[in-house]
A = this chain, B = another copy of it.
Amino acid sequence: MNATTSIVAKAAPYLAAGRRMRRTPYTSRVEALGCRVFSVYNHMLLPEVFRGDDADYHHLKTHVQIWDVGCERQVELAGPDAAKLVQLMTCRDLSRMSEGQCRYVPLVDEAGGMINDPIALKLAADRFWLSIADSDVLLWAKGLAVGLNLDVRCSEPAVWPMAIQGPKAGELAELVFGNETRSIGFFRFKRIGWRGHELLVARSGWSKQGGFEVYVDDWDLGGALWDECMDKGRPLDVGPGAPHNTERIEGGLLSYGNDFTNANNPFELGLDKYIDLDKPVDFIGRTALEAIRANGIGRRMMGLFIDARELPACDAAWPVFRGVEAAGELSSCAVSPLFGQGIGYAMLARGCWDAGTAVRVRAPDGRSLSATVAQLPFCKP
């Protein structure tokens, strides 16, 4: 495969084997399909590359892919205080959230620092799932529940999401689950029967190509579902895939651990519309976020258009300069087929963050790349 070949040429490291980096119900499938590149996410294996970086990108934007995102762990909050706890954890007002709904919920700590940015699913008035990014949200939830003596059970249920993503995702979902999937609205979910088992199917996913996430709660069923999707999707040119770095940057999706950490607050990330300080919402970090709003932020996540036809992998922050002055750090980047140039995210200091500002990025290969600050999400060319 192209990806493997090019990576071998760069002497990419191997991933050691160990039970600490857990397999998913789909790992044996992606291995059989030749996947050789993984990362580790929530202590689980996340397959990353199949046909090669470019081919995976174009396939995702043209056809339909099945993703092993079993590493998207669910943190379940259940019990009389579940709704109270989930609201305490996020700055977004959930008072009008209804059952069957998904919501993007920035989680903040007492200082307003980001803990994670999961999708919340309201399963019932007293039962929620948080479909998390790469940090142990369960420990945060349990700590709060114990400390506040809340009547809520916090657990990580045996659920391994499988995503169906791409422009033909709707067609494939219908072939597998029937036409009930048509009636699932964006960021809504339904329970749909499959082989005598009820599966939670949501219209969501970590791409901008549309699709579904299936919350599979039975290990063996997961493998069977993968096989059926690959089989029934053949006429649609289905293939295995994975969240794609280029596609997600083009679409403005931020990645916890890559683009932001606990050291960042949601204002810095431009998540203002999810920060409901003007509503009477009781959440941890409210006082801190009020102070941050009053004082203003000193840095902000912005887009960059980068003058580059080739960019190495971004495995550390790259310094960004405005003239000779330090302007901030680039956290993710890719060469975008859509925009015909490099694009990336950078946390930029006040005075450097206005769209149109000319900056330079120092890449680890020594190049100093000219770049232009842009609004997020990037505007279609």
Which residues of A pack against B, CB within 8 Å? 4, 7-8, 11-23, 35-41, 43, 45, 48-49, 109-110, 115, 134-149, 156, 255-258, 262, 284, 313-317, 331-332
Contact = CB atoms under 8 A, between A and B. Distances in A.
A110 B155 CA distance: 12
Contacts of A258: 18-20
Contact of A14 (B7, B137, B143, B147): B7
A175 to B, nearest CB: 31
Given A14-B15, A16-B49, A20-B39, 19 more contacts: A13-B15, A13-B37, A14-B37, A14-B38, A16-B48, A17-B315, A19-B314, A20-B256, A21-B39, A21-B40, A39-B40, A109-B142, A135-B136, A140-B142, A141-B143, A142-B143, A143-B145, A147-B147, A147-B149
Contacts of A313: 16-18
Contacts of A15: 12-15, 37-40
Contact of A136 (B110, B136, B317): B136
Nearest to A40: B40
Contacts of A143: 139-147
Contact of A147 (B38, B39, B146, B314): B146
Interface centre among A11, A14, A149, A314 (most CB of B within 10 A): A14
A39 B12 contact: no
Given A36-B13, A257-B43, A317 B141 contact: no
Contact of A19 (B109, B141, B331): B331
A146 B36 contact: no
Contact of A18 (B8, B14, B39): B39
A140 B146 CA distance: 10
Given A139-B136, A332-B19, A110 B39 contact: no
Contacts of A22: 316
Best-buried of A43, A136, A139 by chain B (most CB within 10 Å): A139
A19 B315 contact: yes
Contacts of A109: 142, 146
Contacts of A23: 315-316
A139 B135 contact: yes
Contacts of A19: 257-258, 314-317, 331-332
Contact of A145 (B13, B16, B37, B147): B147
A13 B35 contact: yes
The interface centre, meaning the residue of A16, A23, A315 with most chain B CB atoms within 10 A of its CB, is A16
Contacts of A35: 13
Nearest to A148: B147
A138 B115 CA distance: 10
Interface centre among A8, A13, A136, A313 (most CB of B within 10 A): A13
30 contacts: A13-B15, A13-B37, A14-B38, A15-B37, A16-B37, A16-B38, A16-B39, A18-B313, A18-B315, A19-B314, A19-B332, A20-B39, A20-B41, A20-B134, A20-B258, A21-B257, A22-B316, A40-B40, A43-B135, A43-B257, A109-B142, A110-B146, A135-B139, A136-B136, A136-B139, A137-B139, A139-B139, A142-B143, A143-B144, A143-B145
Contacts of A317: 19
Contacts of A314: 17-19
Contacts of A332: 19
A39 to B, nearest CB: 4
Given A143-B144, A147-B147, A315-B23, A36 B18 contact: no
A101 B54 CA distance: 54
